[in-house]
């Protein structure tokens, strides 16, 4: 399968289970354009069992390392709780 096909299936599944937008961030967002995001949303719309005309995925605006910062939150919280 094509990468975008797998990605739009994942976005559709997340939307149908959690009912929220997906933010495409980290290193992936630096390779995607606004037009790519619009195409992903159109493909995701066709895969949803409960489709509507809302936006399913947006491009992240944070730095490429934002995911590593999020991964550290557990340890930061643990430290702050111990203080």
pLDDT digits over 31-64, tens only? 888 899 899 999 998 888 877 777 888 888 776 6
pTM over 0.75: no
Size of the chain in residues:
83
Percent of the chain past pLDDT 70, that is, above it, reads 87
How far is 52 from 69, CA to CA, in rounded Å?
33
- Looking at residues 70-82, what average pLDDT do you find? 83
pLDDT of residue 58: 87
User: Given this model, what pLDDT does residue 69 score?
Assistant: 63
pLDDT at residue 6, rounded to an integer: 92
**Alpha carbon distance 20, 37 (integer Å):** 16
Q: Which residues pair with 23 in a beta bridge?
A: 58
**Confidence (pLDDT) at 83:** 83
Task: Output the pLDDT for position 1.
Answer: 61
């Amino acid at each position: 399968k094509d990468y975008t096909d797998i990605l739009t299936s994942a976005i559709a599944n997340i939307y149908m289970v959690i009912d929220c937008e997906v933010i495409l961030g980290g290193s992936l967002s630096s390779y995607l354009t606004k037009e790519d995001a619009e195409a992903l949303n159109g493909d995701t719309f066709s895969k949803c069992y409960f489709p509507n005309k809302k936006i399913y995925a947006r491009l992240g605006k944070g730095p490429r390392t934002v995911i590593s910062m999020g991964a550290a939150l557990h340890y930061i919280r643990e430290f702050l709780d111990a203080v």
